[in-house]
Structure 1
């Protein structure tokens, strides 16, 4: 951070950096001046350092939007982040290629020392017109980066310099230069009393656990969300058991009718109905189990469901055995009546 003299300080320090590193390649007296290229090119070896553009740094443009509180109190000192664009030109005797030799020295120096040294900043601040500059105290360093300009951009740049002939030049960007505001924010109040509490879950005033276990908020497996699927499974089992009992009673009534004179055909039909009912009970068991599995979210295999499944399997087995006994009774009845008919005929 620095005050408003930082821009001029960077320009003067850049001129000192170039001037201090001309030797040993350049063995002549060279004048390094901080001004725009002259309209009358000098014949003496001269280097001009001209700041032709000042722009806001795009990456730091919105870094300090919130600088005041809701009541207008200054929270932090506002700072402007700037990028400086320099045009460095060289002049001298063309037959001895003085300008090219000077430009080569400038490029070598800025490539070797891209960051502006602090001692040069302090030396530049000793100028009377830069008294009060605090750029040397800023933690932000100024770095020089070469810029590539094509023919059109170079023509536009030199076109802005009215009645100034073109000279061999290079363009560099200096960033980052931070300019502080005048006001200083009030220091933050110190912490008077720390308030740190450590409470286990479930204690009065402790936050509720936010995890989800088993699809039930609060991390309670088998909670409210598990009650409804269990009831659905129980209802399915009740309907299935009732259907099995009804099938068995119908089978017994049909067998009684066959015994009272319905004949072997009625008995066989009843037996077939009984076996069909048993098979229906068996086939109904997996479908009911699948419905219960869907209703309970894919996990109905608890203790109660297994017990009900075993009961339904035993009931289906009894119904099948009853059907087989009925079939045997029908066959015996038919054989007895056949013998009786043979005795009458004889």
Structure 2
């Protein structure tokens, strides 16, 4: 923060910065002046520092919109944020390229030292016309940035300078310069009488958990006696905390027992259905095997007893051979297919009363 002399102080400090850093490249006397380019170019080496435009900084323009209260009281000191635009021109003997040598020195200096040093600001403030400047005390530093201008913008800039011939020059922008208001805000009054009350939730006058006051929690009159709710007593007829916990625990146990019983009943029904299905499938398999073994065993028994019809096949050898072949096939089929019935016993180990035994009297 600084006062209204900050703009002129920056211009004078910039001229001192260029003047102090001309050597060792420039070994001649150079005059650095803070004025606009002259209408008649001077023959001696000269550098002009001309502030041609002052603009408000766009990023800090609305930083302090609210500076006063509704009654006009100053809340904080207003500050104007400014950007300064400088045109730096060089003059000298053209045959010796003095102007170009001076411009090179200016660009090198501002690129090497882009921030305005505090000691140069203090030196500039020693001028009689800058007495009272407090720019050196400001926390905000001034930085120089080159501005790129094409031929069109350069011709417009030099066209504003009436009857001034063009000279080799560069343009730099200095930001940020803050200008404080001269009025100081009135400090806030200190707290004279603290008034702090601490009430538990549910007490008359205490805010509810949702932040709503009123109703039963309305503020009681001063000196009101504490009630049962304020003292923390339990309302009459309300169950105690221990009773509520026991009821919740019992409810949870019953629910868990009901779920367990339902799960057990479901598993028992599923297991019973699976057992019945397996038993039915096993019975069907045993019946099929027993029937096949019964047919083969009966035919083999008839042949062993000498049944005349078992070996006759039309009174010919071929018929007898066919009968014997069929008997062997039947006997082998019975041994293979009916070797084990549903009881797990082979045909040779069957009892006489088992189905399919040669002595059970079954006819094929």
Q: What interval of TM-score do these two structures reach, taking the shorter chain for normalisation? A: 0.5 to 0.7
Q: 1:197 to 1:133 in 2, by over 3 A?
A: same
SS of equivalent residue, structure 1 residue 75:
coil
Which residue does 2:244 correspond to in 1?
none
Cα root mean square deviation, aligned: 3.4
Q: 1:202 to 1:6 in 2, by over 3 A?
A: same
Q: How does 1:1-346 map to 2 (within 5 A)?
A: 1-192=1-192, 202=201, 204=203, 205=206, 208=209, 306=259
Residue by residue, what CA displacement relative to the aligned partner does 1:135-192 show, whole Å, maximum 9, x if unpaired? Answer: 1111111111111111111111111111111111111100111111121111122344
Q: CA deviation at 1:79?
A: 0.9
Q: 2: CA distance between counterparts of 1:95 and 1:196?
A: 85
Q: CA deviation at 1:36?
A: 0.6
Q: 2: CA distance between counterparts of 1:305 and 1:61?
A: 73
Q: CA deviation at 1:30?
A: 0.2
SS of equivalent residue, structure 2 residue 27:
coil
Hey, which of these two has a bigger chunk of helix by percent? 1
Q: 1:13 to 1:209 in 2, by over 3 A?
A: same
| Structure 2 portions without partners, runs of 5+ | 212-254, 270-364
Residue by residue, what CA displacement relative to the aligned partner does 1:231-260 show, whole Å, maximum 9, x if unpaired? Answer: xxxxxxxxxxxxxxxxxxxxxxxxxxxxxx
Q: 1: CA distance between counterparts of 2:198 and 2:111?
A: 57
Residue by residue, what CA displacement relative to the aligned partner does 1:295-336 show, whole Å, maximum 9, x if unpaired? Answer: xxxxxxx669859978x98xx9xxxxxxxxxxxxxxxxxxxx
Residue by residue, what CA displacement relative to the aligned partner does 1:92-138 show, whole Å, maximum 9, x if unpaired? Answer: 01111111111111111111111111111111111111112111111
Q: CA deviation at 1:196?
A: 7.2
Aligned residues: 232
- Calculate the TM-score normalised by the size of structure 1: 0.59
| Structure 1 portions without partners, runs of 5+ | 211-301, 317-346
Q: 1: CA distance between counterparts of 2:198 and 2:17?
A: 59
Q: 2: CA distance between counterparts of 1:68 and 1:304?
A: 72
Largest Rg, 1 or 2: 2
Q: 2: CA distance between counterparts of 1:64 and 1:28?
A: 48
